Structure 1
Amino acid sequence: MAGYDYDLFVIGGGSGGVRAARVAASLGKRAAIAEEYRYGGTCVIRGCVPKKLYVYASQFPEHFADAAGYGWTVPEASFDWPTLVA
């Protein structure tokens, strides 16, 4: 039987690929991931997660206004788009 350097070789370092490699490693297997650019994939880097952060940030003004009705003293809020994007 041929010998291999890895028990699992994952093509693509998106959420699923990283998870597969981590599960294999937690079971004592040798895993490797091939990714062209950055780990995380479209959802984490450019899609789902950044979109969710923007949606959460858009809701804060309403939450600040609601908090005053529950007895919180909320100072004047300000927003900085470059900070959110960074």
Structure 2
Amino acid sequence: MESRIVYRNSDGVKRTALVDYSDPTKFTVHTEVEMDEVLEGIKRARESVVPGSTNKLVARVPMTVYEQSLLEQWDEADWKKWLNDPDNAAFRVWPGRV
């Protein structure tokens, strides 16, 4: 018997745990991302940036990228490369370079 448990459904991200009770020591996580909603949230955050503030929200990284970074064991240089890549500019909140 399989059970589906939605444990996150906000900010354009829905995560569901799929548990097979014949082997409850293992489960699968299914992630759905509504990119339009995610990008709209980033746009709102970008519009609320206070110039010169001490704390800066650099970016909102998609969960799939975060999971990739864990699997590939990214270090600080890998994160800087990803964050400064013009192809990922849509995910940046703060406009400066990292």
TM-score if structure 1 supplies the norm length?
0.30
TM-score (norm 2): 0.28
Of the two, which has the highest radius of gyration? 1
